[in-house]
């Protein structure tokens, strides 16, 4: 069972060999250009000396010689090609870097340009040798790894048979220590799982019973909430009717102070009726149905801001907004989205102290080939604990920490926000820092690209 050690040793030897070979080849390659330049220079000197002695180039035969040009050193246009290798054009002369210049001995104004090909036959031999050696190395690696893979496959096949049929494989099948250790671990885990299977089944039954009990309690809770809400709504509706009757002065003329008092009472009754409607509407786990229309979401945001401008003024809270980059119309439920933005702004005003600030930012963003509307509500309020970020969207949940206890509520506002936004295939997230404020970010899909 020493196959793993042998395998590791061979891998180390191969890696070291590859490193030494490639390092040597790299050093050789760094110096080969110098060797080539010296070789080309000797050939050019030979050609020029031959011409000086015999005044001709016809007898010169070099495979990598491309051009010999005689020209005026002050005007290259005054040139004469003494030699051009077959298959090459005159205009290609400047594409090759292995060129050498000589001055004509009989006329100092005339010069010779001798040009060779960029790659010498020696370099071809080096590349060919490298390819052959690299191929041998690669085939050796393939053979080695294939042989090792076959041995591992036998061990894995034994493990699969054991898992499928409880057939215990022979130890000779495990030529690799890693596979054998894996097999032993699986055997131990399998034995433990068999002993724990009965306990797991019992636990599942207990959890199912607890789940059914919780569902039954939740169903009863919703029924109680609906009954209480209906019982409250009926007398509140009658109270509102009498308040309207009194305000119309059909029971006698009212003073201005009395009218102002009735307005305050009516406003609170309307708020209470609205909360009762929300309880009835959102207390149950029912799908939210949208009444879709195309509308300008920027105008809807301005309408929400205008609705609460007086409330902000009373607390001396500054509402800033930057929504000019929200230009495309959206297909959605206008009334429902008004309720979303209204709830978020109400919460921001509610949890922001006097002289605070609320900032509303809206823009469009392309993501995953879908154009989205991004709306952020930022405030400088009391903040939300980090561990409550997910729970604040649950029905009837209220954050239990000292600053938030001064702001009572039913815990439905953010539940409504999440339901409506997700019904529009959007998302809502929150980030917050205690004592510094919160940011609610809503993403609503406007349209898909080319759709």
The pLDDT-based confidence of 1 (bands split at 50, 70, 90) is very low
Q: What pairs with residue 102 in β-bridges?
A: 112
- Alpha-carbon distance of 381 to 359, in angstroms, equals 12
Confirm if 272 and 236 have CB atoms less than 8 A apart: yes
Q: Quick one: average pLDDT of 254-272?
A: 80
Distance in Å from the first CA to the final CA of the chain = 64
How far is it, in rounded angstroms, from Cα 296 to Cα 314?
29
Residue 349: pLDDT over 80: yes
More confident residue, 440 or 209: 440
Q: How confident is the model at residue 211 (pLDDT cuts 50, 70, 90)?
A: confident
Distance of CA 73 to the CA centre of its chain: 62
Coil, helix or strand for 100?
strand
Question: What confidence tier does 165 reach under pLDDT thresholds 50, 70, 90?
Answer: low
3-class secondary-structure state, position 13: helix
Token pair 């029924």 is found at 223
Three-class SS state of 174: coil
Evaluated on CA atoms 161, 167, 173, 179, the torsion sign reads positive
In a 3-state reduction of DSSP, which class is residue 332? Answer: strand
Residue 184 predicted with pLDDT over 90: no
**What percent of the chain is modeled with pLDDT above 90?**
17
- The average pLDDT across 271-291 equals 66
Establish how many alpha carbons lie within 13 A of residue 316's alpha carbon, considering only the half-sphere containing its beta carbon: 3
Tell me which of 446 and 229 has the higher pLDDT. 446
What is the band of 404 on the pLDDT scale with cuts at 50, 70, 90?
A: very low
293-448 belongs to which CATH class? alpha beta
d(CA 444, CA 297): 10
- What is residue 76's three-state secondary structure? strand
* Residue of 72 and 284 predicted with greater confidence: 72
């Amino acid at each position: 069972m020493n196959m793993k050690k042998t395998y590791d040793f061979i891998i180390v030897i191969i890696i070291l060999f590859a490193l030494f070979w490639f390092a040597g080849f790299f050093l050789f390659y760094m110096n080969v250009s110098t060797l080539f330049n010296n070789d080309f220079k000797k050939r050019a000197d030979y050609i020029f000396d031959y011409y000086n002695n015999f005044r001709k180039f016809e007898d010169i035969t070099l495979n990598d010689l491309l051009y010999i040009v005689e020209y005026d050193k002050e005007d290259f246009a005054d040139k004469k090609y003494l030699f051009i290798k077959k298959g090459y054009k005159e205009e290609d002369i400047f594409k090759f870097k292995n060129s050498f210049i000589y001055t004509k001995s009989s006329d100092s104004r005339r010069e010779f340009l001798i040009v060779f090909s960029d790659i010498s036959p020696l370099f071809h031999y080096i590349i060919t040798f490298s390819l052959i050696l690299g191929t041998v190395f690669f085939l050796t690696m393939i053979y080695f790894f294939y042989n090792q893979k076959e041995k591992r496959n036998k061990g894995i096949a034994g493990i699969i048979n054991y898992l499928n049929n409880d057939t215990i494989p022979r130890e000779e099948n495990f030529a690799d220590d890693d596979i054998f250790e894996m097999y032993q671990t699986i055997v131990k885990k399998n034995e433990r799982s068999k002993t724990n299977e009965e306990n797991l089944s019992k636990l599942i039954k207990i959890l199912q019973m607890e789940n059914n009990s919780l569902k039954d309690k939740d169903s009863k809770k919703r029924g109680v909430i609906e009954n209480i809400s209906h019982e409250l709504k009926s007398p509140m509706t009658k109270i509102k009717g009498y308040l309207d009757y009194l305000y119309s002065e059909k029971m006698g003329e009212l003073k201005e102070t009395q009218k102002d008092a009735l307005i305050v009472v009516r406003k609170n009754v309307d708020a209470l009726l609205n909360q009762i409607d929300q309880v009835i509407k959102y207390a149950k786990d029912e799908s939210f149905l949208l009444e879709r229309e195309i509308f300008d979401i920027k105008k809807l945001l301005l309408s929400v801001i205008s609705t609460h401008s007086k409330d902000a003024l009373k607390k001396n809270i500054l509402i800033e907004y930057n929504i000019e980059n929200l230009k495309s119309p959206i297909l959605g439920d206008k009334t429902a989205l008004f309720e979303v933005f209204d709830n978020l702004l109400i919460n921001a005003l509610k949890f922001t102290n006097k002289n605070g600030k609320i900032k509303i930012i809206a823009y469009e963003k392309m993501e995953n080939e879908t154009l989205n509307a991004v709306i952020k509500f930022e405030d400088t309020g009391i903040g939300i604990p980090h561990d409550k970020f997910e729970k604040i969207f649950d029905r009837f949940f209220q954050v239990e920490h000292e600053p938030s206890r001064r702001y009572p509520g039913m815990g439905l506002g953010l539940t409504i926000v999440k339901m409506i936004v997700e019904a529009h295939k959007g998302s809502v997230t929150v980030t917050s820092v205690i004592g510094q404020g919160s940011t609610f970010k809503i993403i609503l899909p406007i349209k898909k690209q080319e759709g």
